[in-house]
Structures are given as structure tokens and as C-alpha cells.
Amino acid sequence: MGFVTPALIGGAALVALPIVLHLIMRRETKLLTFPALRFVQQRRLMNQHRLRLRQLLLLALRCAIIALLALALARPTLRGSAGAGKEGAAVATALVFDNSLRMQYEQESQTRWQKAKELAGWVVKQLPADAPITVVDRGGRQRGQDLNRDAAEMRIERLEPSAAVRPMEDTLRDATRWLASKKDFRGEVYVFTDLSAEAWSATAVSEFTKSLDSLPGANVYLIDVGVLDPQERGLGPLRLSSQRVATTGKLQLTADLTRTGAASKEPETTVELYLSDRANKFEKRGQEVVSNSAESAPVEFSLSGLEPGPHQGFVRIVGSDPLSCDDTRYFTIDVRPPSKVLLLGEKADDTIFLREALAPTAAAGSAQSEFSCEVRTYSDMGRLKLADYSAVFLVNPPPLAKTAWDALAEFAEAGGGVGISLGRNARREEMDGADAQRLLPAKLKWQSHDTTYLRPVAVEHPALRDLASVTDSAPWSEFPVFKYWELEPGAEPAEVISTFANGKPAIVERQIGSGRVVMFTTSMSDYASADAWNLLPTAPDPWPFIALANGIARYLTGAGQAQLNYLAGQTVVLPLTPDEQVSSYVLQLPDASAMRQTLAAGQHDLSIASTEELGNYRVRAGGDQEKLDRGFSVNLPTDETQLGRVAVPELVKSLGSERTRTARTREEIEVRVGVGRVGHELFPALILAVALALAAEQLLANRFYESVGATGRTEPKTAANLVGGAPSTSP
């Protein structure tokens, strides 16, 4: 226990006053001549004992009134364990801000960020002028520097919401480390937050609690600026069918329109698609009207017939809502001529099913294929220039000459993609030889006749990305595999990217130089017959096989590897081709401003770290010749717009209820900080006890003594008489 004004405890000595008055005003015993009646004497003795007991009880009440009054004026406080470490020490204050874009949620013409800055400015003004202060934010611009009050106010005024924020635990760690360096001060942490579940993850709470445990006497004030019942609409991540699209191909764009809180008064929401033209001006290319009845509804667009070169655009919600940062999603694609793919087989017909999956002849003229397939036989390899192709597929290859294996290996090392589907023509001895193993991912063990089917598991691999959304629903068991090659580990173990249902490797990969080799352990183009290796391409409605073949082809040609769309804060890496080697370039930002950057000699890629601004970026060099013209887009991580709140009582309990308090207004902050610094005051309880003691003394005094009035005897002396002046007497 502590006292705000301990000097006033001395007032308890005034309890001597009623004791002195009690001793002085005792009535002297008078001797009177009276008949010797025994019962009168006994009655007299009984009355004397009763009167003495009543006087002592009143004396105790009057002493208690004075003692309680003195104790109340001294303002005793009860402190928890958090305040016990550095009681009486000066205060060092850390101000922590969650400045994610989610704080731009607007309510009553004020954003959550504006409210946080307003409350923070008021808090700083209440701090002593010489108190050490630091400001820490999730954007990482402020990480814990010693500031005075004026500097802190300036830092807070300049802070702005950021699209690229770090985890909350990192921000809180900066604040507690700074407080730990202030060994002669008692720490206070003010966290200005909307208490979103995204920020206050289990990891953030656990690490913050451990940090606070090492700071004796520290108090935490969670300044809640969040909205208790948020209501808004937003777009989820924009999913592209590919970031590199063929001029004859089609781009599919999909996003989810989500709703938080109660349904909007508007029955429908309009979502629009915009795409840039050659002059980099945006024109509307599509529109979808979505019902607001569901919490989540898909929005789909498609684009085709695009000219070669980079194209940028965005999908946006028409209208406005309280949180605008998730109303728009940006995208960049690279449109190129169809990738040239060479299909090799013993006979041209051996590749028919793979060819139809990649470039169906039935779609001729309908601008659907993103691959240009050329079919040749293995006997033609000596006359082919592999560098003219983006990828080469070996369908059911037989033993090849050393020159053929060397040519394929060199093609892969230079950055090409090689696909291999094994079948009946493979020979273990030749395939396990040194020439073939320069290219193949693994050695062959034997042919297995264990009937099974394909079961992709690592769907996050780029070659299987097209199957990610349908991997659970794809009827793979309807496409049985009757024969396949079991593998032995090679000199460089292959990476298994898919297995059969029995766990045996189905698709394996090996990186060679700048290229890659993907091998399928069963045939990818086998006719349905009594000796068929599988029914992947020939069973009814073989759409899983088509998706698989196209995914592997995109991966081998590099179309699936082109990353042109990033999240805020990520470093952008754009590889440069030999034709794009430049010494400097101009980076155009989403706000139309530009900055010139230089490249070091021999640098073969662009690395751009300034990606805090959302929108479309453009990289250009070479003037009118456009030697370099690339683009990329930056979007907000979806988690940063989640408005769901953490359970506040559980959060306070986890951090320590004796040191953690929440507040939403200035008045609540003032009260919580008073409790945190001083403790729980007992003044109200003590004043109530004084009032009760006064009432009891008055009641007992009136009950124990009768007012004599006209008899001329003295009136009973109550505490009120003692406090107000001399006792009154009857006239």
C-alpha cells in the first residue's frame, strides 16, 4: 500500500481529542444524604456500569471518525505487482502505432488513424516536459529513438498509414527494448490500435508478454480506436490465369467480393475492369454486377486479343465505403507470341494427345492456344536448332545417341525446359548410362505393373498450379495408370513434385544450369489399347490431363515463372534479357512521379525495393527505341484489411490484468493512467466509512442519552457538537 499525501497520516493523532474531552467531562461523584434503601443502591450501581459502557462505545466511534478522516485525506492506494518494481521513479513513455492501411477505416467523418493521432497528441501533452519519450510504428520509420515532448509531437504529426507493415511483435519488441535501456525509469507503453486479430496474433501476444515480464513496474495502455461493428465491402486477392499471356491466348481474372458486417442497403455492387492502352491510358474493358446478399461472391473477367508487350490494369469496386484501400486490385501481364514447343516422338502420331492438349486443332482460329507446337521425330534431331524453342518434350523416348543427349543437356543449361514422359521404348541400361544421366533427373529401376492413379500433392509447385483449386475434386481414380517406371536416386537426387496413389514418384524435376528438366514416369500420349500404359489422355472428359499438360508446359517455357505482381514491401526482381542490357532506367511510380536509377556493370536484373505505394509501376529505358519497357504491380496483403477484432478480455488477461488497461476516450485514458501510476485509491471507501461512523455516533448518542431540556442538565455531546463548537446546554 502507498499514500498520495502521507504527511496527512499525522492527523490520526487527533484521536486524542475525544479521549481528553471524555476524561475532562467525566461527572464527579456527589455524596447525597439518602435513605438507606438497598435496592436503590443496587440500581445505582447497574446504571453506572451501563453508562460507562455506552460512553466507551461512543468514544471508540469518535476516535474512529477522526482516524478514518485523516487516513482518507492521506489518500492511501493499493498497487498491483506491476507497480511494485520502481515505485516513485520517473516515467519513460513508449508510444506504439499500428499504422497499417486498415486504420483508414472511416466512421463519423473521422478515420481510425486520425483518432489515434488526436489521442496520441493529447497524451504527449500530459507528460512531463523532461520525460523521455519514443515513437514506434509498424511501418518501421520509427524504431525507438530518444525524444523530448516537442520532438515526439512532431514525429506523430508526420506519421502516415503504410501499405508495407511489419508484424506487430517486431514493433512491440522495439518499444520494450527501448524501455529496458531506461533502467532508472518506470515504463509506460501506449499502444494505439484497432485491436484487430491480424495484429494481435498469438505470437505477438506471447512475445509481448515475455518482454513485459522483464520490465518490472511497466504499465500497458491499449488505446482502442477500432470500430466495434465494422461494415464494409472489399476485393480479395486478384487471381490471374497466367502472368505471361500469349497473343493468341486468353487471360482469366478472378477475385472474391467480400462483405464484413451487416448487409449493405444497396442490393448490388458493381465491379469494373480497366486495362491500359498503348498510350498508357486506362479504358474500361468489363463490368460485373454482384449481389450483396452473400458474404463472399466471385467476380470473373476475361481478356483476349491483346497486343504484344506489357499490359497493366486494375479491378475496382464502384462507389465508396468506410475502407477504400481494398476496393482496388492492380495487375500487370506480359503478352508475347505463343511459346514454341518442340514435340519429339518415334512417329508423329506418338505425340498426338500431348499436342492436342497444348494446341488443339479444333480451336484453330479461335485464339485459345498459348503454345505453338512443332512435331518432329527423333531421327530429325541432328537437323534441329533447339535454341529456337522455349521447351522440348520427349514423348516415350528410345535410347538416343550421345550427341542428342549432349544437345538436350546444353539446351537445358542455357535456360531451356525439357519434358520427358517415359514409356515402353525406354531401356534401363541406356537411360542409366552417363550420357543420358547428364540430363535425366534419376536412374530407372524397373517397370512396375502395379495399377494405380495420379495423386498430386505438392500443388503449390508452379507446374501444378493450375490444379491447385481442383485437386480435391479431380477424379484421378477414373484415369488409371497400369504401368510406370520406378526410379533409383541419381547422382543429383530429383525433387518429387507429384506421386501416384501408392506413393511412388510420378513427376520428378531436376534443375540444370539456368533450365529445368521435368520427367513423367509414365506415358503422356499413349493410345487406349490392351497394352496401354494409362488412360490419362483417353478416358472420357480428360480435363485433368489437359490442365496437367498445360501446367508443365508453362513451367518449362518459363511462362509460369514470370512474377510481375507483388505485395507491398516485397523486393521486385526483373531479369533482363541480353537485348535489354542498359546502364540506367526510369522508374515511374503509381502517382506518375518518376526517378532515375543506375545499374552496376554486369548487372543482369533489376532489383527494386521501394514498393510501399500501391498501384502499377513502369520501368523504361532507351527512349523512343524502348530498349527496355517492363512493368509490375503492387497490391495490399489481404490480411491487412481484415477488420475482425481480438477478444479484449482474453488479451488483457494474457498480457497481465494488473498491468494492462484499455481505454477509448480521453477521460478513460486519464482514469486508467491514474490507476496505473498511483494505484487503486481507497479515498472513496474511507470517506464512506467516515460518513457511516458519523451516522452511527449520532444515532447511538441520541439513543443512549435522553435530552433533559427543562431539567437544567447538560445535552448529550455528539461528534457533531465536538466538531461544530462547544456543547449546548438547556436554558
Digit-coded pLDDT (tens) for 368-422: 678 889 999 999 988 899 999 999 999 999 999 999 999 999 999 988 999 999 9
Q: What is the pLDDT of residues 242-254, one digit of tens each?
A: 888 888 888 899 9
- The residue ranking higher by pLDDT, 193 or 246, is 193
Q: What is the pLDDT of residue 221?
A: 95
Q: Are strands 219-224 and 660-663 parallel, antiparallel or unpaired?
A: parallel
Contacts of 136 (CB under 8 A, 6+ apart): 94, 95, 96, 97, 142, 143, 144, 171, 172, 174, 175, 178
* Amino acid present at 159: L
Q: What is the pLDDT of residue 236?
A: 94
* One-character DSSP codes across 223-242: EE---SS--EEEE-PPEES-
* Cβ-proximal residues to 365 (8 Å cutoff; 6+ apart), any chain: none
Q: Is it the case that residue 705 has pLDDT exceeding 90?
A: no
Question: What is the identity of the amino acid at 566?
Answer: Y
> Model confidence over 461-500: pLDDT tens digits?
888 877 766 666 678 889 999 999 999 875 556 788 889 9
Strand order in the sheet with 565-567: 565-567, 628-635, 615-621, 584-588, 594-598
- State residue 559's pLDDT score: 67
Which residues on neighbouring strands pair with residue 3, listed in sequence order? 76
pLDDT in tens, 122-173: 999 998 888 899 999 999 877 778 999 999 999 999 999 999 999 999 999 9
**Distance from chain centroid for Cα 681:** 39
Q: What is the pLDDT of residue 155?
A: 93
Chain segment 584-593, per-residue pLDDT in tens:
889 999 998 9
- Residue 57: per-residue pLDDT: 76
Average pLDDT over residues 58-74: 75
| Most confident region among 42-46, 214-218, 454-458 by mean pLDDT | 214-218
Phi, psi of 622 (to 5 degrees): 95, 5
What is the secondary structure of 156-220 as a DSSP string?
A: HHH---BSS---HHHHHHHHHHHHHT-TTSEEEEEEEE--BTTTS-HHHHHHHHHHHHTSTT-EE
Per-residue pLDDT, 158: 93
Find the Cα–Cα–Cα–Cα dihedral 14, 16, 20, 21, rounded to 10°.
50
**Is residue 663 very low, low, confident or very high in pLDDT (cuts 50, 70, 90)?**
very high
Does the pTM surpass 0.95? The reply is no
pLDDT for res 678: 47
Can you read off the three cell numbers belonging to residue 305?
Answer: 486479343
Domains of the chain (ranges plus CATH)?
Answer: 2-78+683-724 (no CATH), 81-227+647-678 (3.40.50.410), 232-334 (2.60.40.10), 338-557 (3.40.50.880)
* pLDDT, tens digit (0-9, with 9 covering 90-100), for 645-655: 999 999 999 99
Please compute the mean of the pLDDT values over residues 184-207 and round it to a whole number: 94
**659 pLDDT more than 80:** yes
Question: How does the average pLDDT of the chain come out, rounded?
Answer: 83
Q: What is the pLDDT of residues 335-372, one digit of tens each?
A: 988 889 999 999 988 999 999 999 888 654 444 678 88
Q: Which of 694, 371, 420 is nearest to 550 (CA)?
A: 371
pLDDT per residue over 290-335, tens digit each? Answer: 988 888 999 999 998 888 889 999 999 998 889 999 999 999 999 9
Instruction: Give yes or no for residue 58 having a pLDDT over 90.
Output: no
DSSP 8-state secondary structure symbol assigned to residue 147: B
Give the mean pLDDT of 671-690: 67
